[in-house]
């Protein structure tokens, strides 16, 4: 008897093309149907990945197909509709980040899945990047002592709207789109935050939302963390889609540069490690680092679905990342430090 899990994808846009390829790297899971509001896109995607069934209506697909889970790879405004549809069919769902447009909606989505008794996960992949995992293991090893300061940098002038034109129309842009990654990495590396102050700017006059955000967070551990993100930074070295890190601790420091280089320094000197991600021929070279991490996050989801365990990025966990994102907007608007509320989901 095969233990292979069958799944369907809702949304066949830019990211789905790579997310599906990442699933196809894994044994024990099979894509059986795809759905997109564009018939042509659904058909092309089905053909590209050797899937026989394609749909333009997700409800119809979930009624027709026998599925173990669904991967929702659509834009933010549709996430509640599709996760609730999955919950009504008692189907575990994976939802693209940022998973909800506000915290109320996020709460409703989590509650709907809990009521249905099936898990809801969030495809939050940046923490799965090989160099980020390596830095985390260096921090956990105690090699640089107790961390007291962290800098998490995502600054670029990459023409991001060419591949994802809808991002230019969002009232909430960089904090929701990139901040959901950056602030999740802050949590992954340094734990939970107790308060934050955020400043935002819009430098590019042709987009609706903010393209610069600078956040200072005080962490429960006492670490001071500075998270900076920008799509308006014309720098000597364009490093998209790399996140750069600098962590200072009581015995030393660790720095992550572009090209996966990690420099560890203590009072004796410095040495280098390189944390190169696995290469896949289907990856888009501009996004190879991110695309590689999708295989690892999908594997984490698959293991959880097979064993009934929790992956790292459940919706309840990601609620806390989303809380940071939306409290950043509130801080920027009110020009105030925001104290974070206690977690509401375990």
Q: Provide the binding-site residues for ligand 89Y, judged by CB under 6 A.
A: 160, 164, 177-178, 241, 290
Nearer to ligand 89Y, 170 or 198 (CB): 170
CB of 160 to ligand 89Y, least distance (A): 5
Nearer to ligand 89Y, 11 or 241 (CB): 241
Nearer to ligand 89Y, 42 or 170 (CB): 170
Nearer to ligand 89Y, 290 or 322 (CB): 290
Q: Does residue 39 sit in helix, strand or coil?
A: helix
Q: How far apart, in whole angstroms, are the C-alpha atoms of residue 318 and residue 124?
A: 8
* Closest CA relative to residue 29, chosen from 37, 19, 14: 19
CB of 216 to ligand 89Y, least distance (A): 22
CB of 178 to ligand 89Y, least distance (A): 5
Distance set, CA 259 to CA 44, 225, 252, 275, 284 (Å): 34, 23, 22, 9, 16
Distance set, CA 38 to CA 17, 19, 21, 55 (Å): 15, 18, 20, 9
CB of 96 to ligand 89Y, least distance (A): 8
CB of 60 to ligand 89Y, least distance (A): 28
Residues 6+ positions from 164 with CB-CB distance below 8 Å: 14
Check: CB of residue 15 under 8 Å from CB of residue 96: yes
Biggest alpha carbon–alpha carbon distance for the chain:
64
Nearer to ligand 89Y, 20 or 160 (CB): 160
């Amino acid at each position: 008897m095969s233990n292979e899990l069958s799944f369907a994808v809702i949304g066949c846009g830019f990211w789905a093309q790579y997310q599906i390829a990442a699933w196809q790297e894994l044994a024990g899971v099979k894509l059986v149907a795809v759905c997109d509001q564009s018939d042509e896109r659904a058909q092309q995607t089905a053909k590209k990945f050797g899937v026989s069934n394609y749909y333009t209506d997700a409800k119809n697909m979930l009624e027709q197909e026998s599925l173990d889970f669904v991967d929702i790879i659509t834009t933010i405004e549709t996430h509640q509709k599709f996760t609730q549809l999955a919950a009504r069919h008692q189907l575990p769902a994976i939802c693209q980040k940022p998973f909800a447009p506000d915290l109320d909606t996020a709460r409703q989505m989590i509650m709907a899945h809990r009521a249905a008794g099936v898990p809801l996960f969030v495809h939050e992949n940046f923490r799965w990047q090989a160099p980020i995992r390596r830095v985390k293991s260096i921090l956990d090893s105690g090699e640089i002592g107790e961390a007291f300061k962290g800098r998490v940098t995502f600054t670029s002038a990459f023409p991001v709207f060419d591949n994802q034109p809808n991002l230019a129309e969002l009232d909430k842009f960089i904090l929701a789109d990139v901040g959901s990654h950056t602030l999740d990495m802050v949590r992954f590396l340094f734990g939970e935050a107790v308060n934050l102050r955020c400043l935002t700017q819009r430098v590019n006059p042709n987009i609706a939302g903010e393209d610069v955000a600078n956040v200072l967070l005080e962490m429960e551990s006492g670490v001071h963390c500075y998270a900076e993100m920008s799509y308006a930074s014309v720098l000597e070295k364009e490093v998209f889609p790399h996140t750069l890190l600098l962590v200072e601790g009581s015995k030393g420091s660790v720095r992550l540069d572009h090209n996966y280089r990690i420099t560890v320094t203590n009072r004796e000197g410095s040495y280098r490690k390189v944390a190169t991600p696995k290469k896949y021929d289907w990856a888009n070279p501009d996004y190879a680092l991110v695309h590689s991490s999708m295989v690892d996050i999908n594997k984490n989801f698959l293991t959880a679905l097979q064993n009934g365990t929790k992956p790292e990025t459940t919706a309840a966990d990601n609620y806390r990342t989303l809380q940071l994102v939306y409290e950043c907007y509130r801080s920027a608007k009110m020009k105030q430090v925001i104290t974070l509320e206690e977690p509401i989901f375990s």
